[in-house]
């Protein structure tokens, strides 16, 4: 018996300013509604243009539960379609990426499509003469998604045909992507190396929340990062430089005070980042020759400004995280209410010394790989939370840390780095985009939390 579909009061009751109901993490119906509404109304990351540099190149991914593909057309333009043949519904491309040549060809009946999605040919076309096929959607080719926007090579799409436009949706938050790109002396990133992928037996939102949860590293990562530090303390008596791996691990054990002082910024529509003044990425050793190249490209003042911005984790709502100073991007792909696929991508800064990319790859391996010791600390916490949330007696998850009663929602603001304001910001956006396409959705925001009592 559906309890939440089109039941706006019931949905609003799940989200209170300082706590959220467990159903948002565990209920399969909520998950289905997220796929239908939240992931259709928001701008979702599809991929990076450097993955499909040549005509005929394509990549496949999912927006929520919808299989999509992005392809590079002969004129260089990028198109995003649903990955489905209009004939019998067969998935057109099954690889994560590749080159299709001049056209896509459905493997079932050989209907073929140009790389901009339009129908190229149907075998035995005569058999459709007089059937009215030309009046159907089937001859329009591969269905495009509602809207596509490419921002400095980052491909985003919105499934819904109408809704909030790209610039309004992301606003100032794009400054984190800008900073990551500007760190290249040529102002260009190339996605390089295969993504690290692994499945998590938990709700996708737990992973997104974890990205700005600064009260867990010194606790959950004590056994991994803490051990790395103690090994280094023992070994450093022997002399020699601090290994890159220790530089990566050590800040995870920074005290609460460090994380609090680094600050947190929220933006409208659920975006936000930790690391306003400093971050765990601020004290890496200088890479020889890099600063000189940046000065050559941008002038000293601008180069210092770009490199002085050390944002920690930037959440692009709903489901990616960008780490500018280390050039990684993580995608949290919802599979089921209790299943999430995490993909962690690495970028090379074009024109920068190789050592920077080495550090990026090392960071990704040490922190985000299926074999990472740090990632598994978190994985166990998510897994336990997904199980624990089924325990009866209390039905809420607390997001109250540094909450000020009456705190404005959906605004730009700065808070202490250990605040849970970004989690609250995500839930404020969550309910907004869940309701946007429901009947009477988005009509009366003042009643957001009223029905909860």
Binding site for Fe ion (CB under 5 A): 378
Residue number with CB closer to Fe ion (166 or 256): 256
In eight-state DSSP terms, residue 15 is: B
CB 237 within 8 A of CB 352: no
Residue number with CB closer to Fe ion (57 or 378): 378
Helix (H, G, I), strand (E, B) or coil at 236: helix
CB 141 within 8 A of CB 111: no
CB 70 within 8 A of CB 79: yes
Q: Give me the least distance between CB of 225 and Fe ion, in Å please.
A: 9
Q: Give me the least distance between CB of 330 and Fe ion, in Å please.
A: 12
40 vs 20: CA distance, rounded Å? 22
107 vs 132: CA distance, rounded Å? 24
Q: Give me the least distance between CB of 377 and Fe ion, in Å please.
A: 6
Residue number with CB closer to Fe ion (174 or 399): 399
Residue number with CB closer to Fe ion (44 or 381): 381
Q: Give me the least distance between CB of 253 and Fe ion, in Å please.
A: 12
Q: Give me the least distance between CB of 374 and Fe ion, in Å please.
A: 6
Q: Give me the least distance between CB of 371 and Fe ion, in Å please.
A: 16
Residue number with CB closer to Fe ion (175 or 214): 214
Tokens representing 298?
């941008």
Torsion angles phi and psi, residue 44, rounded to 5: -110, 140
259 vs 314: CA distance, rounded Å? 15
Q: Which residue has the tokens 């090579």?
A: 153
Question: In Å, how far are 92, 101, 106, 198, 400 from 110, measured between CA atoms?
Answer: 10, 15, 5, 34, 56
Residue number with CB closer to Fe ion (347 or 382): 382
Residue nearest to Fe ion (CB): 378
């Amino acid at each position: 018996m559906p309890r939440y579909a089109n039941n706006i009061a019931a949905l609003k009751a799940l989200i209170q300013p300082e706590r959220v109901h467990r159903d948002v993490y565990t209920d399969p119906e909520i998950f289905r509604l997220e796929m239908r509404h939240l992931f259709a109304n928001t701008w979702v990351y599809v991929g990076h243009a450097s993955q499909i540099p040549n005509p005929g190149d394509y990549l496949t991914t999912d927006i929520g539960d919808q299989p999509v593909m992005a392809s590079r057309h002969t004129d260089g333009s990028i198109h995003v379609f649903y990955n489905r043949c209009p004939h019998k519904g067969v998935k057109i491309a099954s690889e994560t990426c590749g080159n299709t040549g001049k056209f896509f060809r459905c493997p079932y009946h050989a209907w073929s499509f140009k790389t901009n999605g339009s129908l190229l040919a149907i075998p035995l076309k005569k058999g459709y003469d007089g059937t009215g096929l030309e009046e159907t959607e089937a001859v329009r080719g591969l269905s495009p998604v509602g809207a596509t926007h490419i921002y400095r090579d980052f491909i985003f799409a919105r499934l819904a045909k109408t809704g909030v436009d790209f610039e309004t949706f992301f606003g100032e938050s794009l400054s984190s992507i800008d900073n990551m790109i500007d760190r290249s002396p040529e102002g260009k990133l190339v996605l390089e190396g295969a993504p690290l992928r692994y499945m998590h037996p938990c709700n996708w939102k737990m992973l997104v929340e974890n990205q700005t949860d600064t009260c867990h590293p010194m606790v959950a990562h004590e056994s991994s990062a803490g051990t790395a530090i103690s090994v280094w303390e023992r070994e450093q008596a022997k002399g020699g430089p601090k290994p890159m791996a220790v530089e990566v691990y050590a800040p995870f054990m920074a005290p609460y005070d460090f994380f609090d002082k680094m600050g947190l910024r929220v933006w409208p529509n659920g975006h936000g980042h930790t690391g306003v003044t400093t971050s765990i990425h601020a004290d890496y050793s200088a890479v020889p020759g890099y600063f000189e190249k940046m000065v050559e490209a941008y002038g000293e003042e601008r180069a210092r400004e770009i490199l002085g911005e050390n944002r920690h984790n930037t959440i692009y709502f709903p489901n990616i995280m960008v780490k500018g100073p280390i050039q990684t991007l993580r995608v949290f792909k919802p599979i089921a209410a209790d299943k999430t696929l995490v993909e962690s991508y690495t970028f090379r800064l074009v024109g920068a010394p190789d050592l920077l990319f080495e550090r990026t790859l090392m960071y990704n391996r040490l922190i985000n790989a299926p074999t990472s010791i740090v990632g598994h600390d978190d994985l166990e916490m998510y897994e336990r939370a997904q199980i624990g949330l089924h325990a009866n007696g209390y039905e809420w998850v607390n997001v109250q840390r540094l909450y000020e009663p009456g705190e404005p929602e959906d605004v730009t603001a700065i808070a202490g780095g250990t605040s849970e304001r970004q989690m609250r910001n995500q839930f404020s956006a969550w309910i907004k985009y869940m309701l946007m396409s429901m009947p009477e959705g988005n009509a009366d925001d003042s009643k957001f939390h009223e029905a909860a009592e």
